[in-house]
Chains A and B, each alone.
Chain A
Amino acid sequence: MNRTDFVRQMPGQSADLARRVSIWQRMHIDPILLLLLLALTVFGLLVLYSAGNQNSAILVRQGRFLLIAYIGMIVIAQFNVERVKRLAPLAYVVGILLLIAVPLVGVGAKGAQRWLSLGGFRFQPSEVMKLVVPMAAAWYFSSRALPPRFKYILVSLVVIAVPTFLIARQPDLGTSILIAASGLFVLFLSGIGWRFIFGAVGLLLCSAWPMWQFVLLDYQRTRILTLLNPESDKLGAGWNIIQSKTAIGSGGWDGKGWTNGTQSQLDFLPESHTDFIIAVLAEEWGLQGVLALLSLYVAIIFRGLWIGVNAQHSFGRLLAGSITLTFFVYVFVNMGMVSGLLPVVGVPLPLVSQGGTSLVTLLAGFGLLMAISTEKRIIGQ
């Protein structure tokens, strides 16, 4: 079914094509997306510098990871989408095997076992799964007629549920939510009927109680209870939320000024350079800063959705849409949890929070978006 060679040799068309293909196109880079990402990551570095108590070592570390991540993004952008699609099922199987290996031979930290150590190099299989799961789901639907039939929906649900469950047991609620979301977005964008969607939402509500009772771990339950009433445990589990809300609220419109946030600089704010970094930004830059950050996120998300709409094949479409929407979930869950709208789950603020792995996987996702957006046109719009 690969007709690209045939297209290239079509007389008359090639000259027309060459004229329209820009330098960006040839480099497989989406300039608008790149610009937005650069703006966001630079802003993120500024906030991180302040959050890490002006420790330049943190900045250098993060900068190095950013460099690696950007190189990774550009390399991935060169990939042939068709090849990526063909690799998807294999990647999925390997990923699942790694996830199974984690509790058996993995390395733990802070009561959770998430890491695999390969010859001194530690990595989190669950991070890679953030890209592999939507790829696998998109691959599954791309060769089938859409909207998918019920049995295909069921199969794809299993494909999504297995890694979600494995990661939730590590335990890593934040990542498992992101992975489930990334898969479900593929399902939604593939055009499954609304009755399935409403049915699923209804089922989810009904299963809330058994989930609460049997699936969630103690500390996860505490986090949800804390959300409902943070004052109940001021110094224990509620501490984080109270302190982050205080940081955000005391920032006001103008903020206290860069590196002048008392909540963050005096260590009242826990996890200030990782999951709670938005509170540092809100305290020091005020609502202005929050709105500026949100604008960047909105622009990136809409650019991503635009790439999805314009993709050539259903695989690219579904994958681009899923990656973009997962990015949105990152933003929403993180900003929601820090401001006390959502329970505290370990979701970083994308491209701003400290952490190399998440930078690399996020930018790898945007690399895929660029690969999709710069795929050679087969059919005119």
Chain B
Amino acid sequence: MSDQISLKDTFTERRIYFERTIFVGIFVVVLLSLLVVRYFSLQITEHDTYVTQSDRNRVQLQPVPPKRGLIYDRNGVLLAENRPSYSLTIVKEHIDNLDDTIVLLRQLIEIDDDHIKKFRRLLMRQRPHASVPLKFKLTEEEIAIISVNRYRLPGVDVDAQLARHYPHGELFTHVLGYVGRINEKEQFEIDEVNYSGTNEIGKIGLEQYYEKELHGEVGSQNVETNARGRVLRVLERSDPEPGQDITLYIDAYVQKVAHEALGDYRGSVVAIDPKTGGIIAMVSTPSFDANMFVGGISSKNYNVLLQSPDRPLVNRSLQGQYAPGSTLKPIFGLAGLHYGMVTPDSVVRDPGWYLLPGDKSNRLYRDWTWKTRRTGHAKFVAMEQAIAESCDTYFYDLAYQLGIDRIHDFSEPFGFGSKVGIDINNERSGLLPSREWKRRYKRLPWYPGETINTGIGQGYLLVTPLQLATGIAALANRGVHFSPRLLKSKNDEEMPVPQLATIEVDDKHWDFIHHAMSQVVHGPRGSANAISRGAQYKIGGKTGTAQVIGIAQDEEYDTDKISARHRDNALFVGFAPLASPKIVVAVIIENGEKSSRAASIARKVLDAYLIDQDMLNAPVLNDSVVGKKVSARSDLDRGQLAVISR
């Protein structure tokens, strides 16, 4: 320690310190000048650049999605609406521990692993401070739970947007179709600008067909947002043009009656106004709740629908192709009269079977009565009885006389064998066989025996329920034929009715066939005689049963031995009132066995349209009906309507 005292020199220390301070002072000045230069260059030299950047930050051009058009039935009952839908969103930056927050949320409300996975994927693609949706379509209860626990959940929010809602659930699914999230394929096809604010697009049904009208035109607004994207102020706005509201020919009440009448059967009911082609009801069962698809269906639910043996996703009215069975006999009968093959008085001997003239195989074509009485309908059968009692032998003979070419040419303008042009995509064309068709697709000549089968609506012949209804409508309307339509008006502007070629047949032939068809229902031995009971109007109709599988000549059709899925399809077509038909109905029940089942459903539909409509015409003012019109017949289902308004 001796050197310490000897070398301590306060004066030198002071001098060195002073020098060092001067040096440091200069250093400080230099560095601070550097800061000044830096701030000068940012604030003065590059000022304009940063002003632009700051404005770009602050001001955003936002698309304003148009409100999707509403869909009403002919009486103003709302079929598709837009409802506020709430989703759970999270801003990651406002949360200390995301995992803890998710665990807490899962204790409060139900959140699938699926949701979490999607959420995490979205999270990676988002910019900071963006709110990322975790769960869609929150129930009111869930919203309440989240609200109550808000204080424990910073960064968690409930966002509202409009989502499509189908208040009647499964009832109109096969008419309206549904909207769903825009997928990658659709992303390429749509107008990107017009859809910039839209998440959902019509996937199927009317929602798809009238997408353009329903969607509307996007609007835009310049908004000032904060870093979280929350809009603070709208600087300038051009309003979107909302989608057009559309009104359908559909009568919601009739639709409901038809749907309920089909019950648990698989099948289809199509009802058409023959004077316009307007579709009054179009039911395909089983159906499903279209609301499942809005906002994306879970893969679990989708698989259930996809794998169900009842195939609920198939729209049977347009896509189900069935053998028409005897339902086409009136048209073939008309052909016979028109071409002069037969007259109303000409008769055919009916032993209960028919033998093709000159056929060496001696194959017997049996009448459907064969398995019960083996005597035929009568010794001699004329056309009226043949239609009323659905005599196969008569029509075997008639088909033989007409030949396949005339059958084909006469049936074609009724709409068979080609798409009838309803305003829904993916309609199927059915099959009206001809020599040419067989040559082209089967590479085989036409055999006379096939004509015989065609004569009773079997063989190659296939129709969709919609075709059947359209064809019978043309028959009911005496050849004036309209393309079937769902859309009645857009924004209250009536749509023109597209007319097809008129079928020219002598009036007395129409009269005769209509009369014969009325005998099916009202005749004492008519095959649908049961439904005439208590009818307040005259019905023209025709029953049909069609084999689902081929039955060999000597084999007998035995219900007990045949599994439920191989039983005959039951059919009925009808129109009423007879003199001036207002409604045509076609019913097909898969494996329904008895055509009387189909006939009784048709009767309920006719009553619903013709009788109930008059009875309930007094307008019921019901505040609960959302929409511009008040339903004249809001008894459609008061419960359901009440739900709409909530």
The CA-CA distance from A318 to B8 in the complex, in Å, is 15
- Which residues of A (67-120) have their CB < 8 Å from a CB of B? none
Check B39 against A287 for contact (C-beta < 8 Å): yes
Quick check: is A147 within 8 A (CB to CB) of the other chain?
yes
Instruction: From the candidates B12, B16, B49, B129, name the one contacting A249 in the complex (CB within 8 A).
Output: B49
- Given the known A-B contacts A145-B9, A239-B128, are A263 and B57 also in contact in the complex, defined by CB atoms under 8 Å? yes
Check B58 against A266 for contact (C-beta < 8 Å): yes
The CA-CA distance from A252 to B40 in the complex, in Å, is 9
Quick check: is A41 within 8 A (CB to CB) of the other chain?
no
Quick check: is B25 within 8 A (CB to CB) of the other chain?
yes
The CA-CA distance from A262 to B232 in the complex, in Å, is 12
Check B40 against A287 for contact (C-beta < 8 Å): yes
Closest to B17 in A: A317
Q: 1/0 per position for A244-276, CB-CB distance to B under 8 A?
A: 011111111100000000110011100000000
- Given the known A-B contacts A250-B51, A262-B54, are A308 and B42 also in contact in the complex, defined by CB atoms under 8 Å? no
Check B38 against A336 for contact (C-beta < 8 Å): yes
Chain A hits for B51, CB < 8 A: 249-250, 252
The CA-CA distance from A287 to B225 in the complex, in Å, is 26
Chain A hits for B50, CB < 8 A: 245-246, 248-250
Check B128 against A235 for contact (C-beta < 8 Å): yes
Check B13 against A314 for contact (C-beta < 8 Å): yes
Q: 1/0 per position for B126-157, CB-CB distance to A under 8 A?
A: 01110000000000000000000000000000
- Which residues of A (214-267) have their CB < 8 Å from a CB of B? 235-236, 239, 243, 245-253, 262-263, 266-267
Check B28 against A301 for contact (C-beta < 8 Å): yes
Check B43 against A253 for contact (C-beta < 8 Å): yes
Distance (whole angstroms) from the CB of B606 to the closest CB of chain A: 65
Check B127 against A235 for contact (C-beta < 8 Å): yes
Chain B hits for A247, CB < 8 A: 54
Check B227 against A267 for contact (C-beta < 8 Å): yes
Instruction: From the candidates A250, A263, A309, A332, name the one contacting B17 in the complex (CB within 8 A).
Output: A309
Check B3 against A145 for contact (C-beta < 8 Å): yes
Check A262 against B58 for contact (C-beta < 8 Å): yes
- Which residues of A (170-195) have their CB < 8 Å from a CB of B? 185, 188-191
- Which residues of B (2-28) have their CB < 8 Å from a CB of A? 3-4, 7-10, 12-14, 16-18, 20-21, 24-25, 28
Check B24 against A266 for contact (C-beta < 8 Å): no
The CA-CA distance from A227 to B12 in the complex, in Å, is 43
Instruction: From the candidates B29, B32, B57, name the one contacting A246 in the complex (CB within 8 A).
Output: B57
- Which residues of A (139-164) have their CB < 8 Å from a CB of B? 143-147
Of the candidate stretches A5-13, A44-52, A290-298, the one touching chain B is: A290-298
The CA-CA distance from A298 to B31 in the complex, in Å, is 11
The CA-CA distance from A263 to B34 in the complex, in Å, is 25
Check A266 against B232 for contact (C-beta < 8 Å): yes
The CA-CA distance from A236 to B44 in the complex, in Å, is 27
Quick check: is B378 within 8 A (CB to CB) of the other chain?
no
Instruction: From the candidates B25, B39, B228, name the one contacting A339 in the complex (CB within 8 A).
Output: B39
- Given the known A-B contacts A249-B43, A251-B43, A321-B21, are A332 and B31 also in contact in the complex, defined by CB atoms under 8 Å? yes
Chain B hits for A290, CB < 8 A: 39, 43
Chain A hits for B127, CB < 8 A: 235
Q: Which of A191, A239, A249 has the most CB of B within 10 A?
A: A249
- Which residues of B (94-149) have their CB < 8 Å from a CB of A? 127-129
Chain A hits for B28, CB < 8 A: 298, 301, 325, 328
Quick check: is B611 within 8 A (CB to CB) of the other chain?
no
Check B128 against A291 for contact (C-beta < 8 Å): no
Chain B hits for A317, CB < 8 A: 13-14, 17
Quick check: is B53 within 8 A (CB to CB) of the other chain?
yes
The CA-CA distance from A297 to B39 in the complex, in Å, is 16
26 CB contacts below 8 A, A to B, read A143-B4, A145-B3, A145-B7, A145-B8, A146-B16, A189-B21, A246-B53, A246-B54, A246-B57, A249-B42, A249-B43, A250-B53, A252-B44, A252-B51, A266-B226, A266-B232, A287-B39, A287-B44, A297-B32, A305-B21, A305-B24, A321-B24, A332-B32, A335-B39, A336-B35, A336-B38
Besides A188-B24, A317-B13, 13 other A-B contacts (C-beta < 8 A): A143-B4, A189-B21, A189-B24, A247-B54, A248-B50, A249-B49, A252-B47, A308-B17, A309-B21, A318-B17, A321-B21, A336-B35, A341-B35
